[in-house]
A and B are shown apart, each in its own frame.
Chain A
Amino acid sequence: MSLNIALPKGRLLSDTAALLESTGWGVDGYNEKLRYYRLKSSKFPDVNIKVLQEKDIPIQVAIGNYDLGICGLDWTEELLVKYSSSTAVKIADLGYGEGALYAAALPGELSNLEKLTKRKSNTRIAGEYPNLAEALAEKLRLKHFSIFPLWGGAEAYPPEDAEIVLLPRKSEKEILDVGLVPVCKVVDFRAYLIANSNSLKSKDMADILSSLTCNINSVREFPKSFSIIKTMEKPEKKSYTKISDDVVRLALPDGHQQSHVCRIFDKVGIKVDDYPSQTENRRPTSNMEGYFIKVIRPQDMPLQIANGNFDLAITGRDWLIDHKYQFPNSPIEEVLDLKYGWVKIVAVIDQNLPIENISEWWQYCSRNQITCRVATEYTNIADRYVRDNRIDRYRIIPTWGATEGFLPEDADLLIENTETGGTIARHNLRIIDKLFESTACLIGSTRKINNPVKIKRMEDLVKALKNAMEAT
């Protein structure tokens, strides 16, 4: 009987590799230089090992694609706090990867729980854990709150764009190091072995479970949730000046888009200091007068523009469309096509299937009564696409990167972006439909701006960028 186990990429990889090594699993290739998603164990040859983003693992175990998984308790709790009847169950604390998910705020009123609870104005909570953020708001009995799910960079949000952020860190000191104070621990976490409850009931996994848990210290303290922190330490004071009404708030992307942005800015004489930053500085300065710049994830920009936290942002049209599909009334629009970062958004299936186009695919699903599992980072685009194709029954499986590794075992269809199609072909996959093309673009709010100085500053930037685009 074959078993499927999901192992984590990222922060838990080296410790998990050490655990497998110490228990003689003999897994070649599971190291920091990871090249393949699918691995094998010499000790357990019937076990199919797949390496996934940690955040994807609880979802994949819950939907039954994997019998077992190893990931941080924070991501398991993020699933279970909202879906308590899910089939993902916690099996064992593996004892490494220790840390906590902290709710953090600037020192002062917001870090005082009593004052926070009595606060009448809206409390914005941002982070990569929207379900735990909602549970926190309910636990704190906040009178009025909004939750902003993020793809990353949460520490950059306070105080202008969020009152509370959720940050996974190894210690309270790491929260103080980013100029914030921990208000409470949302959950203590370590690496956990999790299982699909149906697999536990029906499959003999005793040897594997024993092997993974044989070194566990049984007297370990159980992790706590929602515990209040009474820290006396204060962070190094950072100065936050109030942004005046005539200042333009501009969001620039982190990651691989940075070099493209720098190239365009060079053409129009804009110099942004410390961007890209070696020290993860998310508040670079520039030679543009009257501009306040923050560096955030491009995926998060539409929501931030919609909420008035920024006036302009540089992101991909794919993320703008994904946002508008979820929230058609959102007050944002594309201001200018920046014509770089061209990708096409495509529907992808397993190369081995005898199917050439999307209509054949839907016929194939219907004929074989397949509940089509659609894995994607673009959950709203994928949802709209499948709905528009009038498919009987489907499931959208959110992923956080490396989606091409999901076919064919963990999904039936991908909605993915590709530049050349090379990665897709290398993974033995086939493109069967093109949804649309996307490039980077400048986005802004549709709300009326009343400050003439600010309007002029925004117009100047748009005009300069437009001229640069036309010149190329």
Chain B
Amino acid sequence: MKAERCKGFSDLSPGEMRAFRLVEDVFRDCCQGWGYDEIRTPTLEYLYLFTSIGTLTPNMLGRVYSFLDWDGWSGERVVLKPDGTIPAARYYIDNKKKGLSRLFYVTNVFMFEETGKKSRERWQCGAELIGVNSAIADVELVSLSLDVLRQLGLSDIKIKISHAGLIKALLDSLELSPEEKTGIFLRILEGDIEALDKIKAEKPDTAEAITLLLRLKGKSSGFLKNIKALTSRNMEKLSVYLDNFISVLEKLEKLEVDYRIDLASGKGFEYYTGLIFHLSIGQTVIGGGGRYDALIPQMGGKAIPAAGFALYMDQLMKLIDSEAMAEFETNRITVKIQPDALNTGFSIAEILRDFGFAIELALDEEQVSEYGWLLEIQGCNPVFSLTDKSSGQKSVTDNAEDILRVLGCAEDVA
């Protein structure tokens, strides 16, 4: 029998898990610092939560892992969670939450990918701010996401900002069927401005104005004010969305957040209704989020506005500083205990664990790690021999306290 891993799924090695935990811990600390509470939603959800208009796009739905579970006699299909936001919204409704709720989660999401070369299981850290629709709430989410990334030691973060409400209002000015509107909206979010080509032939003036807006890229709220001045003559309905957009951007500017307006910027969810933002470093998209005021009422809840974001852990794990990981390795001590020093050996291992070291008992001659320290203990009246594995420097003593001093715990010992 060949022991094979399922196609399209990945193991996380001990090294990757250390990076995973580092990202998770920083995210959790930051969210808690901003007053968010952690939740965990189940891996299985009912499929229908994701199918109605305003949830997942048909393209995404065609790739979910849906099936009948043991209770499937009712014909009800379940799905391996393809998204973190919809289950969080379901949690809010299901638990009869009222008013403001700040929630965060770390979860895996599942989406089929044909070649099996990319992972079909992805991990994300998500935060949802439910119960309020204001520019400052949007700014809070952008700021929290940036806080996490900075705490992870990441820099050169690029933020692209768009506005789903504005794009939808632009499309509303055209006479399109709901299906056409949704299709064009999603293509625009994916950066495909050519989606408007068909309309150009039928309504050239309106389409030209929309294309102009979509093609322009700017870096300040002033840019949007200029656009408002140019377009408000023809499209009054736009001004409410433009005002909201300008308000968010002005606040980000006050906080000196560097962003770029790009209406056709990167993939989005059909449920977005307001601000959308995408975070990237170089060419790697590392997260994104947006406002989804219609989702909770759409799912059967009350008219509760909400917004949220997710950071893509699989990408972040590859980007975080290797020095942070190396620190973990240098805090590792391999302890080799001779049979005549068993009690002493186990006792000192326990003490060192209390000081925060990772203690690995040497079970054979094989060297476990090339980083960190090697501590050898032998004799009824024990002799301690401590070697820095990277430099080869060795200290020998019969006093356990000396060992602690060499390891930098001198003050604590004193």
**Contact residues of A with B, CB < 8 Å?**
84-85, 117, 124, 134-135, 137-139, 141-148, 302-303, 306-307, 323, 326-331, 369, 392-393
Q: Which of B66, B75, B114, B115 has the most CB of A within 10 A?
A: B75
* B183 in the interface (beta carbon within 8 A): no
Expressed in whole angstroms, the minimum distance between the Cβ of B229 and any Cβ of chain A is 38
A117-B53, A328-B70 given; A142·B75 CB < 8 A: no
Q: Which residue of A lies closest to B60 (CB)?
A: A138
Expressed in whole angstroms, the minimum distance between the Cβ of B110 and any Cβ of chain A is 15
1/0 per position for B115-136, CB-CB distance to A under 8 A? 1100000000000000000000
7 intermolecular pairs with C-beta atoms under 8 Å apart? A117-B53, A138-B58, A138-B61, A303-B75, A307-B73, A326-B73, A369-B1
B74–A307 touching, CB < 8 Å: yes
Total contacts A to B, CB within 8 angstroms? Answer: 64
Expressed in whole angstroms, the minimum distance between the Cβ of B58 and any Cβ of chain A is 6
CA gap between A328 and B114 in the complex, in Å:
33
CA gap between A240 and B298 in the complex, in Å:
34
B71–A135 touching, CB < 8 Å: no
CA gap between A176 and B25 in the complex, in Å:
62
A143–B70 touching, CB < 8 Å: no
CA gap between A382 and B53 in the complex, in Å:
39
* B contact patch SS: loop
- Which chain A residues lie closer than 8 Å to B77 at the CB level? 134, 146-147
- Which chain B residues lie closer than 8 Å to A148 at the CB level? 75
Expressed in whole angstroms, the minimum distance between the Cβ of B177 and any Cβ of chain A is 11
Expressed in whole angstroms, the minimum distance between the Cβ of A248 and any Cβ of chain B is 21
CA gap between A328 and B68 in the complex, in Å:
13
CA gap between A376 and B72 in the complex, in Å:
21
> Of residues 51 to 87 in B, which have CB atoms within 8 Å of A's CB atoms?
51-53, 58, 61-62, 66, 68, 70-77
Q: Which of B58, B74, B76 has the most CB of A within 10 A?
A: B74
B114–A124 touching, CB < 8 Å: no
B75–A329 touching, CB < 8 Å: no
Q: Which of A124, A144, A331, A369 has the most CB of B within 10 A?
A: A144
CA gap between A393 and B2 in the complex, in Å:
9
Contact of A143 (CB < 8 Å), options: B52, B73, B114: B52
A327–B114 touching, CB < 8 Å: no
* B34 in the interface (beta carbon within 8 A): no
* B355 in the interface (beta carbon within 8 A): no
A144–B48 touching, CB < 8 Å: yes
A117-B53, A141-B53, A369-B1 given; A303·B73 CB < 8 A: yes
A146–B58 touching, CB < 8 Å: no
Expressed in whole angstroms, the minimum distance between the Cβ of A278 and any Cβ of chain B is 32
B51–A138 touching, CB < 8 Å: yes
Closest 10 CB pairs of A and B: A146-B75, A327-B73, A330-B73, A306-B73, A143-B52, A138-B61, A85-B114, A141-B53, A392-B1, A144-B48
Q: Which residue of A lies closest to B114 (CB)?
A: A85
A146–B74 touching, CB < 8 Å: yes
